[in-house]
Amino acid sequence: MNVLVIGGGGREHTLAWTFSKSPRVEKVYAAPGNPGMKNTAECIKLKDDDINGLVQFAKDAQVDLTVVGPEAPLLAGMVNRFEEAGLRVFGPTEEAALIEGSKSFAKAFMQRHNIPTGTYKVTSDYEEAVRHVEKEGVPIVIKADGLAAGKGVTVAFTQEEADQALQRILLDHTFGEAGARVVLEEYLQGEELSLMAFVHGTTVLPMAGAQDHKRAYDGDEGPNTGGMGAYSPVPQFNEAEVDRAVRDILQPAADGLAAEDRSFTGILYAGLMMTGEGPKVIEFNARFGDPEAQVVLPRLESDMTEVILELMEGGAPELIWSDEAVLGVVAASKGYPGPYDKGASISSVPESELLFFAGVGEQDGRYVTAGGRVLLLAEKGATLEEAQTTVYKKLEELDTSHLFFRKDIGHHIISR
Q: pLDDT tens across 206-237, in order? A: 999 999 999 999 999 998 898 999 999 999 99
Q: What is the pLDDT of residue 166?
A: 95
In a domain, 365, yes or no: yes
Position 408 pLDDT exceeds 80: yes
Q: What is the pLDDT of residue 111?
A: 97
Whole-number percent of the chain with pLDDT over 90: 94
Q: What is the pLDDT of residue 400?
A: 95
Phi, psi of 166 (to 5 degrees): -65, -40
Tens of pLDDT, residue by residue over 279-290, are 999 999 999 999
Spatial distance between the Cα atoms of 120 and 132, rounded to a whole number of angstroms: 10
Tens of pLDDT, residue by residue over 159-185, are 999 999 999 999 999 999 899 999 999
Residues 58-78 have a mean pLDDT of: 97
380 pLDDT tier (thresholds 50, 70, 90): very high
Q: Are residues 339 and 407 in the same domain?
A: yes
Average pLDDT, the chain: 96
CATH code (residue 359): 3.90.600.10
CATH code (residue 69): 3.40.50.20
How far is residue 37 from each of residues 11, 134, 193, 311, measured CA to CA in Å? 11, 49, 29, 27
What domain range includes position 179? 119-186
242 pLDDT tier (thresholds 50, 70, 90): very high
Number of neighbours of residue 97 by Cβ within 10 angstroms: 29
Number of neighbours of residue 127 by Cβ within 10 angstroms: 10
Number of structural domains in the chain: 4
Q: Are residues 150 and 257 in the same domain?
A: no
In a domain, 320, yes or no: no
Whether the model pTM is above 0.75: yes
CATH code (residue 128): 3.30.1490.20
Tens of pLDDT, residue by residue over 243-278, are 999 999 999 999 999 999 999 999 999 999 999 999
Q: Are residues 195 and 308 in the same domain?
A: yes
